[in-house]
Chains A and B, each alone.
Chain A
Amino acid sequence: MWLRALLTVALRGPGKGLMLASAVGWILMAWLVTGDRLPHSAVSLDHGDHAVVAISTSLFDLSRHFAALWLTMILAMAPPLLLREIGRLWRTSLHRLRHLTIGWFVCGYVGVWLLAGLALSTVFSWMTGSSERIAIAVALIALWLCSPARQHCLNACHRVPTLRVFGITAQCDALRYGISTGCYCAAACGVVMLLVLLATNNHLIVMGFAAVVTTLERYLPVRRPGWQLPLSRGSIDWFDRGYGDARSFRPAR
């Protein structure tokens, strides 16, 4: 039932355009990571600390490669995450202002992710300095993925803001909506991108897996924040009961 609901949302209104944009992103990504266009595809993690050095030099020695890679990753992975938000803007904006409103939203969202990319590249450069650092970083990332704070961010992605309709205030609201969505999205899923960047072999497959997991998590019903594994048993139960089913919510005692 939830899959049908998701497909219904995906294929109506601007959903088709978003899925097309995502497909273009994946094709571009495949083109970038195959062959010799980016040097990182040639390195592997088979040689201990030498491999760590290989990762850091291959992916981030050339900043222009990082910018291209990061923008392409956003294009590939973000559209399925934004089906609900852009669909909402499409339906609840005046017909003559729809594209402008969505444009401002996208500017805010992508802007936040570009800043997140800069921050993550700095963290990535630090963590690839030694295998100990990688271990510490991976442990911290795992802790964050299970934390109540992250669930709070995922819940916030469900929140519908009040958007004004007329004039410049409508565009300001759309920009603000894009920024807030981008912030919660980057907070919830940004560190997953670090794990994706760590994978030098089969990068595209790891990225695809991360995209599926983050998209599924994004459309799970709201859960009360607590320490829990991503896509844990509780989440799956909620999925089985139906997408967005309010009965699955149990208030705190």
Chain B
Amino acid sequence: MPRSDQGEWAFTAREVLDTTAPLLDYRYDDETLPVVERRAERRMKRLGARVDAAGRTREDAAVGSRKTPELIGASDGPVRVTGSTAAAIRLDASPTQALRGSLERAAAAPRQRTEPPRVFLKLEGIRGTSDAAIYHVYIGLPPNAAPTDHGDRLAGTISLFGVSAASDPNGPTAGSGINQVLEITEIVDALHLSGDDLNHLDVRFIPATAAASGANFSIGRLSVFKLGE
């Protein structure tokens, strides 16, 4: 490693474990571990359920569990994205009703122990040639609203890195494109609490940079999955 006095410092991992050792010699002002509330408990509080130490909510639907995601809705066809683009996802009545029921039960039960299903947005088959494009994905933005004023509706940011190779019919994915998954549980919870009937979800793609505005790519299907019962 180059030193500030033009020299080089060769070191082993053992020599940098203690930051107060002579060659490093620094100390953090605050080394107390941050207290992070568990995701499921944070969610249950937001839904209105009472959570106490004795009744910790089980994170039943954790990613990596053996539960299989269930498709509950999708766009009616491919979506072409150029600049700021809006799309709609239709949700199937029966599984959506079950989801709303779970959210209502979670809010009504005094000590709900099981987390309601989590919800994910999957962008399937993204094809194009704009490898450098980066887009923000918003869900449920009010009409004509400025996205920057609704940070709570930001589902995530997608990068199209590798999309041109993935769109090549003889490339590594045989031209199937790339897939991206974003968790939208909090947004769906917020929509439910605001009285939305969850018949459909409005999706808006916003270029993250000016250069991305000129990007042109297609998404084979926008799908919504729920994970858990």
Contacts and interface: CB of A to CB of B under 8 A. Distances in A.
Interface of A: 13, 91-96, 152, 155-166, 169, 221-225, 246, 248-249, 251
Interface string B165-182: 100111111111100000
Contacts of B104: none
A91 B174 contact: no
B192 interface: no
Contact of B170 (A92, A95, A225): A225
Given A94-B92, A166-B90, A222-B174, A159 B73 contact: no
Nearest to B179: A160
B172 A246 contact: yes
A224 B171 CA distance: 7
Among B69, B72, B220, B221, chain A packs the most CB atoms within 10 A around the CB of B221
Nearest to A160: B176
Given A92-B71, A222-B173, 11 more contacts: A155-B170, A157-B174, A159-B169, A159-B175, A163-B221, A165-B73, A165-B74, A222-B174, A248-B172, A249-B171, A251-B168
B220 A158 contact: no
Contacts of A13: 68
B70 A251 contact: no
B74 A95 contact: no
Contact of B71 (A161, A165, A221, A223): A165
B125 A96 contact: no
Contact of A94 (B69, B71, B124): B71
A164 B77 contact: yes
26 contacts: A91-B68, A92-B223, A95-B71, A155-B169, A155-B174, A157-B174, A159-B174, A160-B124, A160-B125, A160-B176, A160-B177, A161-B220, A162-B77, A162-B78, A162-B220, A164-B221, A165-B71, A165-B73, A165-B221, A166-B92, A221-B172, A222-B172, A224-B170, A246-B172, A249-B165, A249-B172
Interface in B116-155: 124-125
Nearest to B89: A165
A164 B74 contact: yes
B45 to A, nearest CB: 30
Contacts of A246: 172-173
Contact of A91 (B71, B76, B175, B176): B71
Contacts of B48: none
Given A158-B176, A162-B221, A163-B221, A222 B95 contact: no
B4 interface: no
Contact of A93 (B71, B77, B165, B168): B71
Given A155-B174, A249-B165, A249-B171, A162 B125 contact: yes
B94 interface: yes
Among A92, A152, A169, A223, chain B packs the most CB atoms within 10 A around the CB of A92
Nearest to A156: B174
Contacts of B72: 94
Contacts of A155: 169-170, 174
Given A162-B221, A246-B172, A249-B172, A91 B73 contact: no
A72 B19 CA distance: 71
Contact of B94 (A92, A96, A156): A96
Given A96-B94, A163-B221, A222 B170 contact: yes
Given A13-B68, A92-B223, A163-B221, A158 B74 contact: no
Contacts of B173: 158, 160, 222, 246
A61 to B, nearest CB: 42
A99 to B, nearest CB: 14
A13 B67 CA distance: 11
A179 B74 CA distance: 23
Interface string B190-229: 0000000000000000000000000000001101000000
Interface in B72-101: 72-74, 76-78, 90, 92, 94-95
Contacts of A94: 71-72, 92, 95
A95 B175 contact: no
B117 to A, nearest CB: 13
A249 B177 CA distance: 14
A203 B173 CA distance: 36
Contacts of A157: 174
A248 B73 CA distance: 34
